[in-house]
Amino acid sequence: MPGQAASEEEDTTSTSAFYNYEEGEADDTEGMGLAPYAQEKMDISQLPNTATLQDKHFQYAVYVNVEQPAADEYSDNIYSVWLADERAGALYKICLTNPTAAPQWEQMSGENADAADVPIHLIATASKAYLAPGDPTKVIVEGCPDARNIWTYIIDTKTGTAKQFPSTEGVQELNWDRGEIILASYGYYPQGGRYTCTKAYSPDGKFLRVTSEKEPE
């Protein structure tokens, strides 16, 4: 299930399937270009003691920390997002959320739209975080800053860029075998009533296919 950190014992898939390494070759954070845009590389001991583990795959782990609690019920916390390479002992702060940032719904209005570019300093929320399937240098974050819709983003730590997915109900599944992110959205029938559908996206934010048609709620 999304949000549950997988243990190394539970994951029997070879790292070569994800990083194109030869079997037996050691993972190299610097060689992967992990988070070079971010603030300087820190020692993992500098991770805030209030940060919570969100997801883990092999030596890579993503954490979220509440930097500033919401001022009232109509606002959201300010979160920081941290990416760690536990084998190398390296830590990167990759994002600090901006609760005043607006969503990109207009840029994603098509029926099967791709994710829309968003400046990394305009990510509104990150109460949850996941490693992108097939590429732990990309981090998915999401939350519900408007108390109605779940806003879901993906951060590319190699380039310091981000995208918002055209989803209103968030991550439903991370398919590591196919390298796909399954997201849900709701809509309304013309005659009344609400439905949910799910769609698959690549870690690059591209729409791939519909995975479930409209299902009444």
Percent of the chain with pLDDT over 70: 82
Phi first, then psi: what are they for 120, rounded to 5°?
-65, -25
pLDDT confidence band for 41 (50 / 70 / 90): confident
**Least confident range of 18-32, 51-65, 145-159:** 18-32
- Radius of gyration in angstroms for the set of CA atoms belonging to the chain, rounded to a whole number: 17
Q: Which range in 37-41, 102-106, 171-175 is most confidently predicted, on average pLDDT?
A: 171-175
pLDDT confidence band for 68 (50 / 70 / 90): very high
| pLDDT at residue 39 in the model | 56
Question: What rounded mean pLDDT belongs to the chain?
Answer: 84
Q: Does 92 score more than 70 pLDDT?
A: yes
Q: Does 25 score more than 90 pLDDT?
A: no
Q: Does 52 score more than 90 pLDDT?
A: yes
| pTM of the complete model | 0.82
| pLDDT at residue 38 in the model | 52
Q: Does 215 score more than 50 pLDDT?
A: yes
Q: Does 62 score more than 50 pLDDT?
A: yes
Hey, where are the domains in the chain? 16-168
pLDDT confidence band for 15 (50 / 70 / 90): very low
Higher pLDDT residue, 19 or 186?
Answer: 186
| pLDDT at residue 122 in the model | 96
